[in-house]
Amino acid sequence: MGRVAIIGAGIGGLATAIGLQRHGWDVAVFERSGPNSQVGAGLSLFANGFRALDALEIGDAVRAIAGEQQPLINGQRRRDGRWLATMPASATRELRVVHRADLHRVLTDALEPGSITYGTEVVDLPTGFDVVVAADGLRSPTRGTAVRYSGCTSWRGVTERPVDLLGGAGESLGRGERFGLAPLPDGRVYWFGVVSMPAGSTFPDEFAEVRRRFAGWHAPIAEVLDATDPAAVVRTDIHDLARPLPSFVRGTTVLLGDAAHAMTPDLGQGANMALEDAATLTRLLSTLPRSEALITYDRKRRPRTQATARKARTMGRLLQSRSPLRDVLLRLTPPSVAAHQLAALQDWSQPEVPSGRS
């Protein structure tokens, strides 16, 4: 097939490496961080993400760490716990929340030994490769395009022990604030707090600020915070791309995942879109001539991912709103409408290739 260099050993980069290796490509992955450097946070895998993993022949291995769905109400509620909107169980039937480090381990283990070179920051594009995949994240040096601050910052953590979510998950909304709860397969809880504030704001004690803002909200938020190691909490200002890219391809270099379409996390689709990218690129590079494959990848991926990024930013603005009209809008939206929108978001399948090619 050829030689491919992949810059970045995140979810998208590793998934691409797995797919191309299994189709006969000689793959080299370059990662600037060291091994076992994944932070302790959760991520959502939806039906489209699992379909992409199945296309890469690793879906079952990921399902093994994802566990069974817990029977919880999902949706948005007020800070006092009163539900504003709920999602029909059928709409999230395939949704699982996994620990990022666990997913990273499964993907890494699926690669041939020695595929990843750690501690290597790629300044200039590698030479001697037929294709270079830039999966180097939000601030991709390969892409070069600026990012913009969303107006929100976030704290993220995982409890050290299981916590009973009392039948509910999802997001709780204040005015310019929200708190999310999601169960991990072992009963621990992945949580996040999001607050609208100027970029670069800092606090003498970050975890104390989380407690000040959210510990008085409905149960079991205080218990979740009590079960969290403050030293393991991650603080991140939320950014996305300043403007959509005109192309994901430049010559034989192709952008993938956050490097191509970094979006706010408000739809939980960042990792899923990266997995779709990986499955699509693998399919096309394995069935079409290289130049045709890259052009088709750009044509297939750019409209969907950029539309999803717009929707994520719009959803974030709605959920962070300080207006009482937000709560009215959520209460008046029929669950069937929300379920239809989520189903459309998860509607993805492998691209078809021209007749006569497998």
d(C-alpha 23, C-alpha 355), whole Å: 20
Q: Is 187 left (phi over 0), alpha (psi -120 to 50) or beta?
A: left
Classify residue 159 by its DSSP letter.
B
Work out the angle between the directed axes of helices 325-332 and 290-319 (0-180°, nearest 10): 120
Give, rounded to a whole angstrom, the gap between the first and last alpha carbons of the chain.
Answer: 14
Distance from C-alpha of 157 to C-alpha of 235, rounded to nearest angstrom: 9
Q: What is the pLDDT of residue 341?
A: 94
Please classify residue 325 by burial: count the beta carbons closer than 10 Å to its beta carbon, then call 0-12 exposed, 13-18 middle and 19+ buried.
exposed
What pLDDT score does 121 carry?
Answer: 85
Kindly report, residue by residue over 321-337, the tens digit of the pLDDT.
999 999 999 999 999 99
The reported pLDDT for the residue numbered 269 is 97
d(C-alpha 27, C-alpha 2), whole Å: 9
The pLDDT of residue 98 is 96
> Using CA atoms, how far apart are residues 233 and 328, in angstroms rounded to an integer?
33
Q: In 10 A of CB 67, how many CB atoms?
A: 15
Q: Three-state DSSP class for 170?
A: strand
Q: What is the reported pLDDT for 145?
A: 85
pLDDT in tens, 88-103: 999 999 999 999 999 9
Give me the residues of the chain with pLDDT under 70, please.
Answer: 37-40, 354-358
Q: What is the pLDDT of residue 354?
A: 67
Taking the C-alpha atoms of residue 115 and residue 133, their distance in angstroms, rounded to an integer, is 14
Cα–Cα dist 98/88, whole Å: 21
In the chain, the domains with their CATH numbers are 3-345 (3.50.50.60)
Spatial contact of 132 and 254, defined as CB atoms under 8 Å apart: yes
